[in-house]
Amino acid sequence: MMIPILILVPFLASLFVPFLYTYVRSKKIGWMVLPVPLILFVILSFQIPKLASGENLFYTIRWLNAADIHFTTHLDGLSMILGLLITGMGTLVVMYSIYYLSEREALGRFYMYLLLFMGSMLGVVFSDNVLVLYVFWELTSVSSFLLIAFWHQRKNSRAGAKKAMLITVTGGIGMLVGFLMLHQMTGTYSIQEMIGMAEMLSTNELFIPAMLLILLGAFTKSAQFPFHIWLPDAMEAPTPVSAYLHSATMVKAGIYLVARFIPVFGESEIWFYSVTFVGLLTLLWGSFNAVRQNDLKALLAYSTISQLGLIMSLLGIGSAAMLDIPGSDKTIYTAAAFAGLFHLINHSTFKGALFMIIGIVDHELGTRDIRKLGGLAVFMPITFTIALAGSFSMAGLPPFNGFLSKELFLEASLAVQHLALPGVHIWIPIVAWVASVFTFVYCMIIVFQTFFGRQQQQPAWVDRGAHDPRPGMLVAPFILGGLIVGLFFFPNVLGKWILKPAMAAIYPSFVNPESLVPHIAAWHGLNPALWMTIGIILIGTILYIFLRQWRRIYTIAPFSWKIDNIYALLLIQLEGNSYHLTNKYMTGHLHRYFTYILLFFIAMMGIALSFVWRLAFDFSEDSVVTVNEYILVMVMMSAALAILFVNSRLIAILLNGVLGFTVAFLFVVLRAPDLALTQIVVETVTTVLFLLTFRFMPDWKKERPRRSVKILNAFIAVASGLIVIITALMVQGNRLFDPISEYFEDAKTLTGGGNIVNAILGDFRAFDTMLEIVVLLIGGLGVYVLIKLKHKKDGDGNENQ
């Protein structure tokens, strides 16, 4: 029960924040939000010993038995890592944001979105049912959209938000299809049950498509090449958001998904190749592009892309342990997945710290352009120290945690030599090494171009009062800085308590989880990995020194390519074509729309009828038609016919009313008072609507349509009428399914309600009713928005800044 509540708490909190904000209109609101992630973090931490002893926490809240969709939560080692990151980073980011955002911002909205995100992200990692997972997955995209566009008056914010949304949601829908395919294969929506059936899946013809679609979801979310383009644009968000969503948590969702599905898909070579090589390509492209950035935040964005690629490729190499390769020791591959998880945590610490530091620099000096910055070390010593720790950790230097996971990464890239697969043993180490060199270079750019050199600028900083920010703002990056160093000295604590259960979750088929957790040591002899690191430092330093000389290559063809252009082109094409197409059929003529609707009805019902074509009409059980009913039907028919021949709109409306009220009478005669009542009131309300709009309608002109249109109209009229009659008659004579009327006869005992109509509406088919009123609400809001916005169209003055 605990985990569902954990997921629910941020959602409830996010509901209350706007109300709270109307009373507390100051920064205090942040302090009130802060306990939410903090308490969640503490509660989660208390579960660590339980998980370390090999336990898993399952809890199911049954939702829909008929559809097999339940809110099943599952806390194991893997979701624990993400859960701790989400709540832990959440605490730090909320704390940081209290000082970062000024009181003039819409703080209520900000924290509402942030908590919404926190809840949906917890939902993603704790859900075991794939459909529930999907819903939370898309909710993270939506809350990310809202947070990127937090400063929605800026054009770039809106464009960035739209881009992120379009790309991640497209991937999400692909993933949904993948999930449905998996359901088709396994007959279950539970991930754990799918893992249990993994062995029989690989021969299924849906196996590969399902895998690729799920990977599409993971790659778009985790900004893998070529879908990485949304991440740099997402940097328009306030810095706390970038630190939280776009480096520490949301972009890790794709990595989580890949790790989660390794037991299902790991046996396939296609999985190994796509995850590993997409990861490596992302790593290379991201680090290569990070070097050319001038905006510190954009640099960090590309570095995040590259680091995500690194983790992804590690998981890919790790999945090689599932491949059916005889002989070799599998633990050299599981060590790669171990390194991936380790780096996942390390990346959150150092990248979170760096984002916060950049935020501080931007906050204090009003710029984050490295061409304008320089020499800040003297003015901001504490900030500088944390930045140094973060960057050197990212570059893979001791004594910081990044060094440990980087060494493990290099070892893993060499370990694939033992894998007898084509194209693996040369390319993986080379790409890993080259990308690491670029990583080293951009890490040096962060430290040296921001905090050293350019002495001539120092007087300017004195004028602008450059100094370390208030202590409160430094607390969060300082804690992360402490972790960066702490994890270097005590990595095996993390390995034992957190990573071991996670490894057991990734490799459930390995009986001995102890063998999955290698001992991490800072000094591991002069092995090839260390030589590679030394090479990285040497070449990296040389490249950094001569940066100005070789930077020109970014203007040469394949290096200057931007995938953004493809996105922009596709978007323009899509918008243009959709506009064109929609204009073709949305002509504004009601007649046209009725034609579409009825033709669709005729086609669908015609196909359905032709499949069950048994013209067995059975009148034996029909009751006798009375004179009253004949008369009422006659009145209806003559009213309907008369509408065709009148020449005034008023009379037509009146006749339509006659028709409606006669139907109501017919209901009375047939003893259906509920329907009669509803029909009468609906008829009344419709008449009021007519009265409102009556004098604005154009003159009633008799149309003289062409012959072909007339024939089509006649066909539609006759065909729809016939289909309705045939269907009604056939229903009596054919029993395709078991009758459900026995439910209705027992309505009183089943539901307690004596009125069958309401027993159906409120109980038997309550799901329909619930969704219908949702549709009703959407329809009502649609009318409201369409009419109200029509007037405001001219008045968007300050929209595009």
Partner 1 sequence: MKINDVILRTVTKIVVFIILTFGVELFISGHNDPGGGFSGGLVLASALLLLYMTYDIETVHKGIPFDFKKIAGLGVFLAVASSAVPMLFNNQFLNQAKGDFALPVFGVTELSMVLLFEAGVALTVVGVVVTILLTISEDVS
* Contact footprint for partner 1 (CB under 8 A): 61-65, 71, 673-674, 677-678, 681-682, 684-685, 688-689, 692-693, 696, 751-755, 757-758, 761-763, 766-767, 769-770, 773-774, 776-777, 779-781, 783-784, 787-788, 790
Write down the least CB distance from residue 788 to partner 1, Å. 7
**Min CB(122)–partner 1 separation in Å:** 18
Q: Which is nearer to partner 1, 427 or 764 (CB)?
A: 764
Could you write out the three-class secondary structure of 198-215?
Answer: HHHCCCCCCHHHHHHHHH
CA–CA distance, 15 with 439 (Å, rounded to integer): 42
Helix 649-669 / helix 673-694 crossing angle, nearest 10 deg? 170
Nearest CB to partner 1, comparing residues 3 and 479: 3
The nearer residue to partner 1, 715 or 784, going by C-beta atoms, is: 784
Q: Which is nearer to partner 1, 472 or 780 (CB)?
A: 780
Closest distance to partner 1 from the beta carbon of 657 (Å): 15
Alpha carbons 75 and 191: distance in angstroms, whole number: 12
Taking residue 562's Cβ as centre, other Cβ atoms within 10 Å add up to 10
Minimum CB distance to partner 1, residue 640 (Å):
24
Return d(Cα 99, Cα 94) in angstroms, integer.
9
Q: How many CB atoms lie within 10 A of CB 489?
A: 11
CA–chain centroid gap for 324, Å, is 33
Which is nearer to partner 1, 13 or 408 (by Cβ)? 13
Q: Which is nearer to partner 1, 196 or 753 (CB)?
A: 753
* CB 687, min distance to partner 1, A: 10
Shortest Å, Cβ 78 to partner 1:
26
Helix (H, G, I), strand (E, B) or coil at 734: coil
Bridge partners of 369?
A: 295
CA-CA distances (angstroms) from residue 681 to 3, 291, 411, 758? 48, 70, 76, 17
> What is the rounded CA–CA span in Å between residue 48 and residue 80?
8
**In angstroms, what is the minimal distance from the CB of 629 to partner 1?**
20
Structural Rg of the chain based on CA atoms: 32
In angstroms, rounded to a whole number, what is the distance separating the alpha carbons of residues 75 and 73?
A: 7
CB of 117 to partner 1, least distance (A): 21
- Nearer to partner 1 by Cβ, of 594 and 784: the residue is 784
- Cβ 786 to partner 1 shortest distance, Å: 9
Q: State which residue, 8 or 718, has the beta carbon closest to partner 1.
A: 8
Q: Tell me how far apart the alpha carbons of residues 507 and 650 are, in angstroms, rounded to a whole number.
A: 75
Instruction: Report how many helices (DSSP H) and strands (DSSP E) the chain contains, helices first.
Output: 37, 2
Cβ of residue 71: shortest distance to partner 1, in angstroms? 7
Between 329 and 768, CB nearer to partner 1 = 768
For the bound state, the minimum distance from the C-beta of residue 686 to partner 1, rounded and expressed in Å, comes to 10
CB nearer to partner 1: give 35 or 779. Answer: 779
Closest CA to 108 of 239, 37, 19: 19
Q: How far is the CB of 568 from partner 1 (least distance, A)?
A: 37
Q: Which residue matches tokens 């120092």?
A: 458
Helix (H, G, I), strand (E, B) or coil at 518: coil
CB-nearer residue toward partner 1: 557 or 786: 786
Alpha helices (H) in 149-295, listed in sequence order:
155-186, 191-196, 207-221, 230-233, 239-243, 252-265, 269-290
Q: Which is nearer to partner 1, 612 or 692 (CB)?
A: 692
Helical (H) or strand (E) element with 75: strand 69-75
Q: Are 257 and 176 in contact (CB under 8 A)?
A: no
What is d(CA 754, CA 747) in angstroms, rounded to the nearest whole number?
Answer: 7
